[in-house]
Structure 1
Amino acid sequence: MSKVAVVTGSAGGLGKGIAERLAHDGFKVIVQDINEKLLLETEAEFKDKGYSVASFVSDVSLKQAQEDLVDFTIETFGQLDVFVNNAGIDAVSPFLEIDEAQLERIFKVNVFGTVFGIQAAAKQFIKQQSKGKIINACSIAGHESYEMLSTYSASKHAVRSYTQSSAKELAQYGITVNSYYPGVAKTKMWDRIDEEMVKYNKNLQPGDAFKEYTSAIKLGRYQEPADVASLVSFLASEDSNYITGQSILTDGGLVYR
C-alpha cells in the first residue's frame, strides 16, 4: 500500500519541490496552501504527471485548520504516514522597527502552524497506532540569527526547540520528529527579502543582498528546491527510522555549527 504524505505551503517554492519529490517516491500526497489559485494549478500539474495528489486550502496558523487538514487526508487517502510542516513566511526590518503586527504575523504562521501541525499529525499517528514521521521546515536562521531578519530568525529558533521537545515526548509512540534547514534558494521568499533589504540600505542595488549571501556558499551555487527535497525524501523514508530530534542543514556549505 502506498504511503501518504502531507506537505504544507506546497503551492510553490521549496514546498512544491518537496511534494513533487515525495510523489515521485511513490507517496500519495496532500498539497496544502493558503493561495488557492496557485495550489489548484500545482495540483493539476501533478495530476498531469500521473501523481496521486489532492489539495487542501487552509491557514496553518489555526489549530482547527491543521486538524481539518489531517481529517481531509484520512477521508481522501485513508491514512497518514508523513507530515511536512513546510509553510512559512518572512519579515525584513531593522530590529528597532519590529512591532506587534510583525511578531504576530510571523509567529502565527511559522511557530503556531508548526506546533499545531505536529499535534494534529501526532494524534493521528497514535490513533492509527503507526510509527509516523513529522518533518519541520527550519532555516539557517534557526542556527544563526541574522540582522534585518530578527523575527524570522527567532521564529525558526522556536521551530528548532519544538522539534527537539516534541521528538523527546513522541518517541514513546514510535513517532520521529526532525527538521531540515535550507540555506539561500532562488525563491519568491528570497526575492522579497532582497527587495526589502534594498529599501533599508541605499547602498544596495536589487539582487545585491542575494549575491552577498550566496557568495559565501562553499559549493558555489544557490540552492535549488531539489536539494531540499532530497533531504526530506530521506527523512520521510525508512532509512531515517533511527533519527529523531535532529536539525539537518542543507545549505551547500554556509553555516557550520
Structure 2
Amino acid sequence: MAICKLCKNETDLIKKSHIIPEFLYKELYDRSHRMRKFDAIAKAKGIEKVSKPPTGEYEGGLLCRECDGERLGKYESYLGKILVNSDMPEEQKLHCERIVNETGVEFLKIENIDYRLLKLSLLTILWRSGISSRQTYKEVSLGPYEEKIREQLFEEEPSSDSDIPIVIMSWRNDSELATDVIAQPIKHRKNGKTYYSIILNGYIILYFVSENSIDENLNFFRLKEDNTLSIVHLPRGTGMDFLMNYTGVKNEIQKRK
C-alpha cells in the first residue's frame, strides 16, 4: 500500500496508469494496434521514418483505481466526446463558427461547452505529466501549482478562467500536415513567467500557470467560464515549421551539418 497522488489516501495503487488519455493515441495506431512514433528529425530531412512502440506511456504507483478510473476518468471521457465528435444529447451539442477577425487570425469559436469538465480534463493531462517520473515528461515541474491543480481535480471544481488560463491552437485545417503527432510537453519562460505546451494530434494546448503570463493577444481565445472556447488556427503552410521549432529540430539539424 502507498499514498495515492490525488486523494492522498493510503491504499493499493494501480500498476498501469496512463499519462496521456489512451483515446488520443488512436490516430497513431496502425491496424495491428501498434503506435506509429513520429521522428521529427527524419521528417525534416524528408525521410518517412516510422518506429512502432506497442502503446502509449504508462506508469504505476501513482493513483488508486478509483481516482484513475472514476475521478479523472470522467473528465477525460468528456474531452474524448469533444475531440472525436461522439454523439451527445441535443442540449450538450457544440455550436461551432469559423471566424476570421480584423487582423486576419482564423479561429473556430465553440459555444455550449462545459467549462468545468473541459477545464478539469485539460488540467488532468498537465497534472498527470507533472507527477510522472518518466523521461518524456521531465520538463513538467509544477511546484506549488501541482497541489493547487490536485485540489481542483479532487474537489471537481476548477478555478476561474483567468487562473491558469488555457489556450488551444491547431493546424488541423492544414491538409498537408499530419495530425497524428503527440509530442513531449515543453516548459517555456517568457518575461520571467512560466507556461507549458503540449502537442496532441494537431492541437497545441497552452497552459499559462504563472500569474499574468498569458499574452494579451491570446487572452481573448482562452477557455472561458461562459462556456466558450476559440481554437486558433495556425496559417496554412506554417504548421511543420512550427513543429520543427517546437521540438528543437531546426537547431539540431544545424548542429549536424
Q: TM-score range by the shorter chain?
A: under 0.3
Q: Which has the higher strand share?
A: 2
Larger gyration radius, structure 1 or structure 2: 2
TM-score in terms of structure 1 length: 0.28
TM-score in terms of structure 2 length: 0.28
Q: Which has the higher helix share?
A: 1
